[in-house]
Structure 1
Amino acid sequence: MNKVLVIDDDKELCALMKKCVEQESLVAVVANGGIEGLRILEENKDTCLLIILDIMMPDLDGFQVLQQIRQTSNVPVLMLTAKSEEEDKVSGLRMGADDYLTKPFSINELMARVNSLIRRYTLLNPVSSPETDCMTFQGMTIDSLNRLVFQGNEQIELTGKEFDLLSFLASNKGKVFTKKQIYMQVWAEEYAFDDSNIMSFISKLRKKIEPDPEHPFYILTVRGVGYRFNREA
């Protein structure tokens, strides 16, 4: 059964989120602290489709938990914060969060974001036949079924959003996309990020997959337009 892991020390809010998630035919698993959340994730890593993660917690804060999650998992993470400062939101996104909500928030908005993240995660990771599970390029393999990327025999650790971005471009090899088109396809929302955020995601991805990030081979810039995956790869 597909699961959503909720990590928040606010027990009343957790109970409300659990009820709402389970109305969507999903199983909600609740942890009231970061350490407990990491333990539960380890036990449910094969069935967890999404993590809802609060920032302010007494044992490990959300940023510390997120760092540990991203060492082993690409599962989408929706961060919750009582703070409205842009710095907290940017920090979470840069560390690998996929989206965020500022408390207080409406349940309708929460569930819209939950469903959007799960839809993107499953849409870009469909059940497929063995022949189409992997995309192989010069020096790199993208395992779509298991959401893994390899350079030779070495696994490259990507966040969920970085994998989605790479998978989208690679599966459309040679096609040129604007930053707006990339955002709307990978984030599956109306264009909300500014160009600098898309450029930041591309830059981080290049640092992980490119042999020479200063002279990219896989993800190429089309000046004045956007990006494309190298048709020669």
Structure 2
Amino acid sequence: MQKHILLVEDDEAIREMVDNYLTMEGFQVTTATNGEEALQNCLQNIFDLVILDIMIPKLNGLEVLKIIREQAALPIIIMSAKDSDVDKALGLGLGADDYIAKPFSMLEFSARVKAVIRRATKYSSQAEQKQEVLEIDNLKIDIVNFSITKSGQDIKLTSKEFSILKLFVTNRHRVFTKEQIYQTIWKDAYYGDENIINVHIRRLREKIEDDPSHPHYIKTLWGIGYKFEG
């Protein structure tokens, strides 16, 4: 499956060079030129990697890194001309997976990108294998065999309902927009029809929540989307 990368860089020449090279290497690339645009993209899409320049307008790269890290565990490479031990320590301390200083060779850059994605993919796969059965409060979810019990009682979910639940429980506390849910579960472009998402979320809540009108697990973030707590 083609890996999707968010490239955040305000220098047009560098942005185009990196975009073209990564596209040639077989990656899907979305670009942003400032911190606010980067965060908006993270709400609207699911990425396999973020390449983040530090010195960008509106919100600098370290602020963006911190906000992304609060919402998701996707790998991030810091890219900056500020090549000092302090900057490296700060960037990596906030949760960056790697740091590359400008100027850089595209050969080295591509190798770093592939290495970070490879490590993240391997870790994610191992983590999922280790957690084939998740126990969250009174829910027991077997994400491999597509089964779920609540207080020992079997719960019947449709394949789409279980896929949504699996997306949530394997990314707990991460916020998903309706567009992200639709694109991930239905594998199709989202044209703003919220009804199908609303119906599936409502049915899922009716089956797993003690009080669906006051959900404990699937929380609504009005105007943004949903996240799973517990």
| Cα shift at 1:57 | 1.1
Residues 21 and 6 (structure 1), Cα distance of their counterparts in 2 relative to 1, 3 Å cut = same
| Cα shift at 1:147 | 9.7
After superposition, the CA RMSD in angstroms is 3.3
Letter in 2 for 1:57: I
Residue of structure 1 in register with 2:83 after alignment: 84
Pairing of 1:142-221 with structure 2 (within 5 A): none
CA distance in 2, matches of 1:114, 1:99: 9
Residues 93 and 99 (structure 1), Cα distance of their counterparts in 2 relative to 1, 3 Å cut = same
Answer yes or no: is the 8 Å Cα contact 1:125–1:147 preserved in 2: no
Answer yes or no: is the 8 Å Cα contact 2:71–2:173 preserved in 1: no
Residues 147 and 99 (structure 1), Cα distance of their counterparts in 2 relative to 1, 3 Å cut = farther
> Unaligned stretches of 5+ in structure 2?
145-165, 175-230
> Unaligned stretches of 5+ in structure 1?
158-233
TM-score, length of structure 1 as denominator length? 0.56
**1:13 partnered with 2:14:** yes
CA distance in 2, matches of 1:135, 1:79: 35
| Cα shift at 1:81 | 1.2
Answer yes or no: is the 8 Å Cα contact 2:100–2:109 preserved in 1: yes
Pairing of 1:3-82 with structure 2 (within 5 A): 3-45=4-46, 48-82=47-81
Residue of structure 1 in register with 2:158 after alignment: none
CA distance in 1, matches of 2:120, 2:169: 13
Instruction: Find the residue that maps to 2:112 and give its secondary structure.
Output: helix
Letter in 1 for 2:44: E
| Cα shift at 1:156 | 7.4
Instruction: Find the residue that maps to 2:124 and give its secondary structure.
Output: coil
CA distance in 1, matches of 2:61, 2:173: 24
TM-score, length of structure 2 as denominator length? 0.56
Residue of structure 2 in register with 1:176 after alignment: none
| Cα shift at 1:136 | 5.9
For each residue in 1:187-207, what CA deviation from the matched residue of structure 2 results, as whole angstroms up to 9, or x when unmatched? xxxxxxxxxxxxxxxxxxxxx
Aligned residue pair count: 148
For each residue in 1:2-60, what CA deviation from the matched residue of structure 2 results, as whole angstroms up to 9, or x when unmatched? 31000010111111111111122110111011110111111112xx1100000011211
Indicate the structure (1 or 2) with the bigger Cα radius of gyration: 2
CA distance in 1, matches of 2:127, 2:58: 41
Instruction: Find the residue that maps to 1:90 and give its secondary structure.
Output: helix
Answer yes or no: is the 8 Å Cα contact 1:149–1:156 preserved in 2: no
Residue of structure 1 in register with 2:112 after alignment: 113
Letter in 2 for 1:30: T
Residues 28 and 156 (structure 1), Cα distance of their counterparts in 2 relative to 1, 3 Å cut = closer
Residue of structure 1 in register with 2:209 after alignment: none
Instruction: Find the residue that maps to 2:74 and give its secondary structure.
Output: coil
Residues 89 and 128 (structure 1), Cα distance of their counterparts in 2 relative to 1, 3 Å cut = closer
Residues 132 and 64 (structure 1), Cα distance of their counterparts in 2 relative to 1, 3 Å cut = closer
